[in-house]
Structure 1
Amino acid sequence: MLQSHRRTLVEQTVRSKLFLSGLFSVLFISGIMFWGSLSWHNSLAQQAFQQNSQLLLRQTAEHASPFLQTNNVISLNLMLKNLLAESGINYAAFRDASGNVLTELKQNEGRGIDFRQSVIFENAVIGDILLTIERPATHHTIWLWLLVVWALGITLWLVFCIYLTMDEREQLTVFNQHMHDFFATDRHDLHQWNDILDQQLRPAMSLAGCFHNHYSAAQINHCLDKVDVVPGAGYQSNLFLLYLTATELTDQSDSREVHYWLEQQNHYLLQVASLYNGEITQDRNCLVFGLEDEPDQAVVNILCAATVLHHVCSSMTPYSISVTTGTLWVNNSSDLPPAVQVCGEAVNQLQLMHLHNRSNSILIAENIFQYPRTSTLVNAHIYRDLTMPDGERLEVWQLDSLSDHYDQLLRTQAENLKQNNTEAL
């Protein structure tokens, strides 16, 4: 399996455009370097050939000088035989001062480069020597070096490309894992991803880009946190509801005043929901508690949230806060970010309580007192009895304060929220 993996890796590397384009560059550059080196080598070889040939001519002329002076043809002929015995000399001859050939020998049809050297005796030219010397052929090892250079260059380039391919595979593995986590996609190669990102995932990636460019990291994280708050199929549960709304906004109200109130209301509801583990509902006026907490903790959270909102809204437009509990159907909306949708009898109770709520007070439905923690925490008095549309009676209480140390702590918390809101504006 390891051998198959290595073979696949090498095959992928060899077939890649990077390797093929780089291979041409390696061969081209190596060839240029080789021909440059070969030209330099030939130049040096030519210089050495010329120098050695001239040296041979001078030495031969010195030794032949006394024999030419005495016309000793036999000795001159022996010298020529000795010269032709050396590798590369194909023709040799001695001539007298008049240019007459005294003796000559040739082999291999006399191919090569012709050289001539005068023979001087006592400052007088008494003849000359002629040599035809064949230039040494380029050795095969030079061409072998070209193959070595090419093989070395290709090997180094292949190793480098294999490293890049391995790195690309690792990066692709990480990318596939991220895309699976984000979009639940299968594993694909780069070519497949190019088509997928250009077609199937283009809307999703465009939406992600929109979120990245137009929303802060905190807002994006808030959106992600809300996606799985409620299962998609919804469910029924005993939950707690808090309703906040202005009581004196009418058709004649100033638009700027309405806008300011709605902005402040949404801001504080989100802040309080974050503090006490609540969720804002789709109508943006209501908080729901108990989605993740036990009832005893949820009832404390909703009463603390109502008290904090009471303090932060005290200097704003007259408002009403109503609190109740009951069995509700809960679902996620299709908004972005998804908001919690609730419906049930408790929602009807909130709407009726709001209609009978005088400004700047917190009303509590009697069903809140079914939890033992409420009796030890709440100081309240009976506000009034309400009759529901189905004829049922609903006893409503007005919250005066929370016992123990809660009031002072919640008042301080409200002041901090108002101060942070002022700095943000």
Structure 2
Amino acid sequence: MPRTSLMVFTRDLRVHDNPALVAAAKADRVVPLFVLDTGVLRLDYTNANKGAFLAGCLEDLDASLKQRGGGLVVRRGRWVTEVTKVAEEVGADEVHVNADHSGYAQRRLEALGERVELTVHQGLTVVEPGAVTPAGKTHYGVFSPYFRAWEKAEHREPVGAPRKLSVPRVAKGDLPSPDDIAKGERAPDLAEPGETAGRRLMQAWLKGGIDAYDERHDDLPGDATSRLSAYLHWGCLSPAELVAKAGRSAGEQAFVRQLAWRDFNLQLLAHRPELSHEDLRPKGDRWRQEGGDFDAWREGRTGIPVVDAGMRQLLREGWMHNRARLIVGSFLTKHLYVDWRLGAAHFLAHLLDGDIANNQLNWQWIAGTGADSRPNRVLAPLRQAQRFDPQGDYVRRYVEELSGVEGKAVHTPWELPDDVRKDLDYPDPLVDLDEARKRFLAKRQSG
């Protein structure tokens, strides 16, 4: 009897360096399956931008599988139930899936393992959670010692894409449209989805921009980051392959360090799923909740140009420059003293790369309740703008009202003459930055 395997795609929407797919392809027949999990679709972070990107990723994956003699089988419903149904329908002898590490993902893998012959592979990380640990503990809580251990750990060798797949007769189901996944207004300038686009961008990055990453990753107008985060989030690209292809230049190693941060956050979440909503290191903050200031921040109408530029980039592209994420996060939590969870939820409502581990733990880092060794640091928006957007090109690119303002005034338009500022239709600052910083420090010390 021919041996049949079931390959269940989750956040690994690629054929290159996909350990679960390679293992499943060793059987005589393989069924590639993706389940639109209604449990995930009900969660707040399934946004319209992600819906469009995911639909495109699945279309691209289906095309890649067809080139190898297969094609993607699609189901919708409760994930464990649907996977079990397909396994029974095709008579699967084995089920393969790549690990994920959120609390929800761990629970559904455990439930599936009780129903089928399940093999879980490591395709989401470079170093899997738990592979490196400090003495007497299950995980690291500080990045620097984690990174030293991560560098010394054995990294998984990337594997090639299967050349040919033999798929038994099974009802394929329809690929979902963006609206099948999440309805709503989408950002106008979303990145092109899918592994094909991701690999094209990866190759260009490895041949070009990565060498200057250590010097230019904070350059706001230069846009000199990889823009690979959405492809990593959906598994269109393999972090292990990226690390394997990176060389030893300062820029390449600075980029590799960022991939280690991704693994660091994942190993934290894997061992402490409550960190999706609880502080790693609480400071006793009595955060402000929703209100007018938060609404102005979401809309990019704070009156602080570099903050507004970042927030409008998010609304336009479903993505934000890494330095801008730090600036807008610090402003919300430390100048406005608004709960980081509100900021994190807004990011998840728009980001293509909105990842529970990275998003929530990076927000805690900037709020000073996470893994930051300097929890009370406050990023000064004007100094950040002058340092990382010295000519104001990033601000003018995203804040339409200031597109014609030249020089220093683009950073501080409230210093312009009243008649000129009135014509700009741009709001005054929500807060005095220096006073707000002092208020935060006083609250943090008293807390």
- Please indicate the TM-score interval, normalised by the length of the shorter structure: under 0.3
TM-score (norm. length: structure 1): 0.20
Asked which structure has the greater RCO (Cα within 8 Å, sep 6+), the reply is 2
Q: Which has the higher strand share?
A: 1
| Structure of greater Rg | 1
